[in-house]
Each structure stands twice: as structure tokens, then as C-alpha cells.
A and B are shown apart, each in its own frame.
Chain A
């Protein structure tokens, strides 16, 4: 039996690849999320029009669109497992933490792929001033890590409830709020030329706190058949 260290690394890699292949085969999650992001973007920009002079409104709108796209799709990796009753198989081949890390990284890649499409469209549709790419990408990166960490943990919990995905938005919102607040504030600061250090530190601290908590909590998540 392989030692636990390297093998859980291999398990995470195997699970990540499986998640990507499942997503590629069914393509259900990505299509839904992209459609969701683009439609909510289009409707906001239609309603609000061009906002080149209001970085605070732009920052808020960008993150509302991204947050709701995330809320609509990040629970999917766990809900799919419980609906397909494949959680037993998962638990027999990997430790809870390895399962969670595999899915967390997948959710992270998922978020990035949504943003690759939504961000350029947003900047174009809303006529946003050119962003300070360094600061903006740093904020996006850290916010994505925190979002993925929080969403994966909450998804693992609600996937085992009666309503499954239905509860995800409401239950995860308080946990996602600090990420939303810091991301909006940071995005606004980068557009108005202010330093973004404080927001980056906050996002990093929250991501670390969540990851630390998850390492302790994932063992308690799957204990009954």
C-alpha cells in the first residue's frame, strides 16, 4: 500500500482529471454557467448602459455577475455525485480531503474559464476604462481561490440535503460575502488608481482560513452510507 503522502497527491490528480473529463463529456455545467454569466451581463449592461465614469458601479456589477454565475454552477460537482450515487465509489478510492481538493481545483479552473469569457465581454459591453491588469488579475486570482474554497465546502454540505442544489445560493451567501466585499472594493480601487494591498491581504487571509478549516471538516462530511 503506497504511503499516504504521495498517494493522496495522485488521488487529487486522478479526481481532477476525472472531473474535467466528466465535464467535457457532459458539458452541462460549463454551458449553464456561461449562459448564465453572459445573459446576466447582457441584461445589466442593457439596463445600465455604459458606465465608463463610475468605477464603483462597474466593480459591483462585475462581481455580482461573476458571483451569480458561480452560485449557479459551483455546487454541481458534488450534486452530480450524490444524484448519481457515485459518492460510495469516490469514498472507496480516495480520502475525503483528496476528494475535496480535487473538486476544489476543478471549481477553480471552472471559475477561471467563466471569467475568461465574461471579463472581456464585461469590459467591452460596459465601456469600462482600461483596468490596471496587474492589480485586477491579482484580485481575480485570490478571489477565485477564496470563492472556490468556500463554495466547494458548502456544496459538499448541501449536496447531502433534500433540496440539494436549491439551498446552495442562500446557504453559501454569508460565507461568500467577505470575498464579494473585498473583490468589489479591490476592483474599484484598481480602477480609481488606489492601492489594492489591503483587499489582497484580506482575500488571501480568508482563503487560507477557509482552506485550513476545510482540512479539518472534510473528514466529518461523509460518514453515513
Chain B
């Protein structure tokens, strides 16, 4: 994952400023910085959800640069803004996502991912009945749906209980050996897992007008 002179403004507030980096998978990268320093913005830009004001990002898979237009094919994203359809169950949501992406064995694959994040028993429950901790695990299951080369997690530890954080830590370590994992977090334990780091500037929200 390579970024060149990434700049982005929210309305008029500069959030990312000429940021450049290049990370080689597999491995875990922590994106750190104070609130409002653009951690979530960066993750969303890399996921292709947000078009930047300047600069560009390129994802190389097996040595070949992939078109940034359909970036969503190559990444798994999990962030606080990812919500599921409340009228469907957890399993139905994941199965729909797998079908829409044209993946093989959508239902089976979804069940496997639910087991991986410890939601096997809750597959049949409607999403609006899930606790925020379980919803967060569902996001992780969604991100892992098609074993993407790049995993982008925005504050994955949110709402998780201790047992959940433990499972998350092992999951990140495991995935870190197979693909490039980038995590936006201020949590020390998650940060410690990362071999490399992106420090976002302190200018962020605190910067006086």
C-alpha cells in the first residue's frame, strides 16, 4: 500500500497534509495520532470510501498496481461508520455482502467468519438485537469475508469486552502474518502489535484557527 503526497480537507480544515508512505505486507501497521488528526480519514481514503483533495494512493497486489477505482475489491474494511441492515440477521447480512461481491460459497463462508470472531451462536439474530460489542465483531467478520490482501481497521477495539479484546489481539497477530493490516488506534495494546507505525501530525483539531 503506497501513498504519495496525500492531502485532504474537511470543508476548510486541513486534516491530511502531504502524507506519503509505502508499506509492504504481510505485517501490522498502526496509524496513531490525537483525536481529529485524520486517522479515520486516512483509513477511509485507503479503503476507497473517500476521495482526497490531493495526492493519490496505489495498492500493489502480487506486484501489479490495482486500479484505485474499484479499490473495494482488494480490501477488507471495518470502521465505526460501517452499519448493517437491521431487518436482516447477522448471517444474512454477511451472505448478502459475499453474494454482492460475487464470492464462492457465500453462506458457508459467512458462517466460517462468524465462528472466527466468536459470533457463531448469534448468526440467526437480527442485527438490531446485537450488543455494540457483538456488532463490532460482525464488522471484523465482514472485513475478513474474502481474505483481502489489505485489511483496514478503524479503532477495531471499540465496544469490545476483555475477552473480545483478547480475541481481537490474536486475530490481528494471526492476520498480520498473512496480509497487510493497518489499524487506526490510540489503544496501547493494539499499537504494541504493530511492527510499523504512521504518526499523524499533532496539528489536527487542536490547531488554533
Contacts and interface: CB of A to CB of B under 8 A. Distances in A.
27 contacts: A1-B73, A10-B100, A14-B99, A15-B100, A18-B96, A18-B100, A22-B87, A22-B88, A25-B87, A84-B85, A85-B81, A88-B49, A88-B83, A89-B142, A91-B49, A91-B72, A92-B49, A92-B72, A92-B77, A92-B97, A93-B72, A93-B96, A94-B100, A95-B70, A219-B69, A225-B49, A225-B81
A98 B142 CA distance: 20
B189 interface: no
Contacts of B77: 88, 92
B81 A88 contact: yes
State the 3 A-B residue pairs at the shortest beta-carbon distance, nearest first.
A7-B102, A14-B99, A93-B100
Contact of A85 (B72, B83, B87): B83
A7 B70 CA distance: 12
Contacts of A89: 82-85, 93, 97, 142
Interface of A: 1-2, 4, 6-7, 10-11, 13-15, 17-18, 21-22, 25-26, 84-86, 88-89, 91-95, 98, 219, 223-225
Contact of A10 (B70, B102, B142): B102
Contacts of A26: 87
Interface of B: 44, 47, 49-51, 69-70, 72-74, 77, 79, 81-88, 92-93, 96-97, 99-102, 142
B143 to A, nearest CB: 9
Contact of A223 (B47, B50, B70): B50
A88 B69 CA distance: 16
Given A14-B96, A25-B87, 9 more contacts: A7-B102, A13-B99, A14-B100, A18-B96, A22-B88, A89-B83, A93-B72, A224-B51, A225-B44
A131 to B, nearest CB: 38
Contacts of A94: 100-101
Contacts of B51: 223-224
Contact of B70 (A4, A18, A85): A4
Nearest to A6: B102
Name, among A4, A6, A18, the residue most crowded by chain B CB atoms within 10 Å (CB to CB): A18
Nearest to B146: A1
A147 B83 CA distance: 30
B49 A2 contact: no
B15 to A, nearest CB: 12
Contacts of B49: 88, 91-92, 225
Nearest to A10: B102
B74 A1 contact: yes
Chain A interface main SS type = helix
A85 B139 CA distance: 14
A25 B100 contact: no
B106 to A, nearest CB: 9
B75 to A, nearest CB: 8
A205 B69 CA distance: 30
A92 B47 contact: yes
A225 B44 CA distance: 7
Nearest to A18: B96
Contacts of A85: 81, 83
A86 B84 CA distance: 6
Nearest to A9: B102
A8 to B, nearest CB: 8
B67 to A, nearest CB: 10
Contacts of B93: 89
B51 to A, nearest CB: 4
A22 B86 CA distance: 10
Given A88-B82, A89-B82, A11 B47 contact: no
A225 to B, nearest CB: 5
A217 to B, nearest CB: 15
